[in-house]
Chain A
């Protein structure tokens, strides 16, 4: 298919990166998507059933399928700003007169939090990065930053030194009645994290669907408080409905909303029934799997790569795991001066070769290329090892 379009397929040894296609879906996931494509359903009903499964697997009150973690952050933030106020929903991303401040630790700011700002929200940053000795975050900094203008506290899962961890943040925010929204996009595995952040008190947690979970690339999960998820649904789904026939007209009857909102802030982040079906199958498969099995399988693939890298001059290799529960990687350290080429050269030569191979360049400035096996199959691992050896021994 890609060849017919004139696009070069890439062997991906760089990990579940969005720019390389995320992950590879299992046959069962693809089958579910194909099946879902063959019939019509009420999307709100489908989301509701999917949400129940997400809730069961995360321990949250409710769940929702979004078009990726960034959409989850944007929709979750929108819900924290508007609640069930239909006029406020209509006003976004103009937040004039609304609670629109998101308190965040400075060490937690990151490029992906643009998704939070796109709602119209503004960050109120606290804490410092000079840790230890000249900074970190003090609990009072978060506490005093919370005012009646505060919509939520954002707490992404990032281990920046000196930042207060989620349980501490929850302790402060909860006492002030402010929700905590957690970007856990890449915090899987370990599988235990599916439940952990909800258990630690987060009000909304976002996971990517197209990475470790193995779902469709343009999918994500939002899990959390029922009222916030209800607000998300109203700002996301097709609202060209009439009071007389709307599936959710009970919301009008109960007074939870005072009218039917127009097409909402999240309309552009559409999720198809195929994605919802595929994600749910992938999530159930992921939850039923084992971290230890995944780690072992990834070690085997790295064995296949490493086999080719014995006795390459000026190169040393090391297996690395961020924690004992994360998947292993192979760090290939180059002595760039003796080799007369750089880690970036290696990355480029493999990308331009046939087949094209992508390695992780996240440490290339330190002369290291990284083989991430999580997106390789066994055959590809052999090819990566062979090509890497060829490139490293070419002078």
Chain B
């Protein structure tokens, strides 16, 4: 990653030193729990600038929304306080629409079409957000496959929307997206796509709207490198208007999911930078980092490694390290990495270590390889 924003060696103190929190090497990717991604200097400058004047928040969100619409190919767009807020607001919009008495009734959706149909394979721990927006989830299919009639039979006059989820960890067995859109649209039911962590590549910004999605949700603080607490929804004008009606600054379900003027300005600049960035070059650099880690640990009898670099699936290459034999355990090594200096955070996957290279800075790969080698030596 472009490291102009990073704390440089020898740099005196950072705010985190003042607060008394240790900074870490992020081998988990653009994950909220370790800080998302790092904003570029242009983004933080825009936020600082935005903090110096008053504006009408609705107007600001409308303007940034126009930009979101432009780059996604949608009718309209809206800035949210992250993808989870986008999910809750999308549900609220599909259930209550823009009718004030319904907006005020949420999250109690009694008497409204409030069912969101979702593939069992797409259930994930964030889908509680749809329920926050008043939805009841109706599940179809199995991890082994789903039949079209299951979708057709699940759609009734109680249905508010069909939810689709796309992420690197989406379970298997869903119907093709084109089928979902065709069947839902035949009945005038909107399709919501949660594509929170699927950027880059840039092509994923237009993909879902082009394929017929009515609302698409993205994180602003991951691949886009906007403020960590920002996100966006792109989609049909009437549904975006309904999101606006259910969202901040109005006193509705979305009021607690406040987006600041600074975050909107930051996201606006971050989107520009994201569109211009050479993502292929960055992907290649992360692939090099992945190879450094794997090569440093090659020729070990107690370890098997693999690199997954499918850009359609992961924004950056993934390194997996599996124990060969039982000389070491991934959870112990992970804990040792976290408790060392600097702390290194990585994921666990299938009894192995999983290193996401997306948020590695220059040289992080060497430190990771060295530390793992040292831990395995004990």
Total count of chain A residues near the partner, CB < 8 A: 17
A132 near B171 with CB under 8 A, answer no
Candidates A109, A133, A135, A161; contact of B347 at CB < 8 Å:
A133
Residues 124-146 of A at the B interface (beta carbon under 8 Å): 125, 128-135
CA distance A128 to B168 in the complex (A): 14
Total count of chain B residues near the partner, CB < 8 A: 26
Candidates A111, A125, A129; contact of B171 at CB < 8 Å:
A129
B143 near A128 with CB under 8 A, answer no
Contact with A along B341-359 (1 / 0, CB 8 A): 0000001111000100000
Q: Do A111 and B144 contact each other (CB < 8 Å), given the known contacts A132-B169, A134-B169, A160-B171? A: yes
CA distance A131 to B169 in the complex (A): 5
| B contact residues around A106 at 8 Å (CB) | 120, 123
| B contact residues around A109 at 8 Å (CB) | 120, 142-143
B142 near A130 with CB under 8 A, answer no
B169 near A130 with CB under 8 A, answer yes
A280 to chain B, nearest CB (A): 32
A52 to chain B, nearest CB (A): 36
Residues 103-118 of A at the B interface (beta carbon under 8 Å): 106-107, 109-111
| A contact residues around B349 at 8 Å (CB) | 132
B114 to chain A, nearest CB (A): 20
A129 near B354 with CB under 8 A, answer no
CA distance A156 to B191 in the complex (A): 32
A129 near B123 with CB under 8 A, answer yes
A129 near B347 with CB under 8 A, answer no
Q: Is B170 an interface residue (CB 8 A)?
A: yes
Q: Is B125 an interface residue (CB 8 A)?
A: yes
B258 to chain A, nearest CB (A): 24
Q: Do A133 and B167 contact each other (CB < 8 Å), given the known contacts A109-B120, A128-B123, A128-B124? A: yes
Interface residues of A (CB under 8 A from B): 106-107, 109-111, 125, 128-135, 158, 160-161
A selection of 21 A-B contacts at a CB cut-off of 8 Å is A106-B120, A110-B143, A111-B144, A111-B145, A125-B139, A128-B123, A128-B127, A129-B121, A129-B143, A130-B124, A130-B165, A130-B167, A130-B171, A132-B169, A133-B31, A133-B168, A133-B169, A133-B197, A135-B123, A135-B125, A161-B169
Interface residues of B (CB under 8 A from A): 31, 120-127, 139, 142-145, 165, 167-171, 197, 347-350, 354
- A109-B143, A125-B139, A160-B143 are known contacts; what are 4 more A-B pairs with Cβ within 8 Å? A130-B124, A133-B168, A134-B125, A161-B171
